[in-house]
C-alpha cells in the first residue's frame, strides 16, 4: 500500500471545480474543491503505476461559461484549480510540477503549466514500483553535479533518521560511495 497526496487551490466562478483522482484504473476520490485542501488516498503499488488528476466540470459555452469578463474583456472571475504540491509515497514531488503536461479534453496538450488547471482535462503521472528511485532520478537531472550529490544525500538522510546515529552514518557513507561511482 502506498500514498498519493495533492494540495489543491480552487477559484470560484458559477460553481467550484470538480476534481477526480484515478490511480491504476480506479477512481479513488472525486469531489468539489470549495476551499484550499489536501486530498490523500492510498493505493496498491503495481510494477507500473499511473495517476490521473482530472478536472471535470469547467464549462466553456456555447450558453454557459465559467469565466466572466468585464466590458473591456478582462477576466474578473474564472473557475480553475491549482495543484500547489503533490506527494508520492510521502515524498514531496513539487519539483515535477513544471515537467507535467496538461492534457485538455479537446485534444490539445499544454506544456509546463506549473499545476494550473484552467480547462477540463488531466495531469497524467506515470511511475514504477520503485517510487523513491524514480523521484531521485527525475529530480537529479535538473541539478549540477555538486548539487546532485548533496541533494541525493539530503534526500536519503531525511529517510534514514538521526544523522548522528552511527548506523545512519554508515548508511550515508555507503550511499556517498555509490554516488561517487555513478558520476
* Spatial separation of the C-alpha atoms in residues 133 and 140, rounded to whole Å: 10
72 and 27 inside one domain: yes
Q: Is the pLDDT of residue 169 over 80?
A: no
Range of the domain at 154: 143-182
State pTM to two decimals. 0.73
* Spatial separation of the C-alpha atoms in residues 17 and 143, rounded to whole Å: 35
pLDDT confidence of residue 37: 96
User: Percent of the chain scored above 90 by pLDDT?
Assistant: 40
40 and 112 inside one domain: yes
Of the CA atoms within 13 Å of residue 54, those in its CB half-sphere come to 16
64 and 45 inside one domain: yes
122 and 73 inside one domain: yes
pLDDT confidence of residue 83: 94
Cell 498519493 appears where? 4
Number of domains in the chain: 2
Please write the tens of the pLDDT for every residue from 107-131. 899 886 788 898 899 999 999 988 8
Instruction: Give the 3-state DSSP-derived string for 39-68, with helices as H, strands as E and coil as C.
Output: EEEEECCCCEEEEEEEECCCCECCCCECEE
12 and 42 inside one domain: yes
Please write the tens of the pLDDT for every residue from 20-70. 999 999 999 999 999 999 999 999 999 999 999 999 998 877 778 888 888
Amino acid at each position: 500500500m502506498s500514498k498519493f497526496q495533492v494540495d489543491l487551490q480552487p477559484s470560484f466562478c458559477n460553481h467550484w471545480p470538480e476534481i477526480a483522482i484515478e490511480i491504476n484504473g480506479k477512481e479513488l476520490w472525486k469531489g468539489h474543491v470549495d476551499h484550499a485542501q489536501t486530498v490523500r488516498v492510498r493505493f496498491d503499488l503495481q510494477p507500473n503505476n499511473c495517476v490521473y488528476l482530472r478536472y471535470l466540470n469547467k464549462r466553456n459555452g456555447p450558453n454557459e461559461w465559467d469565466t466572466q469578463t468585464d466590458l473591456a474583456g478582462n477576466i474578473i472571475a474564472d473557475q480553475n484549480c491549482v495543484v500547489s504540491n503533490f506527494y508520492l509515497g510521502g515524498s514531496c514531488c513539487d519539483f515535477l510540477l513544471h515537467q507535467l503536461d496538461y492534457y485538455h479534453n479537446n485534444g490539445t496538450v499544454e506544456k509546463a503549466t506549473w499545476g494550473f488547471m484552467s480547462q477540463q482535462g488531466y495531469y497524467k503521472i506515470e511511475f514504477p514500483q520503485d517510487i523513491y528511485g524514480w523521484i531521485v532520478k527525475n529530480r537529479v537531472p535538473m541539478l549540477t553535479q555538486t548539487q546532485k550529490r548533496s541533494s541525493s544525500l539530503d534526500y536519503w538522510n531525511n529517510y534514514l533518521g538521526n544523522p548522528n546515529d552511527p548506523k545512519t552514518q554508515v548508511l550515508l557513507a555507503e550511499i556517498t560511495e555509490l554516488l561517487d561511482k555513478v558520476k
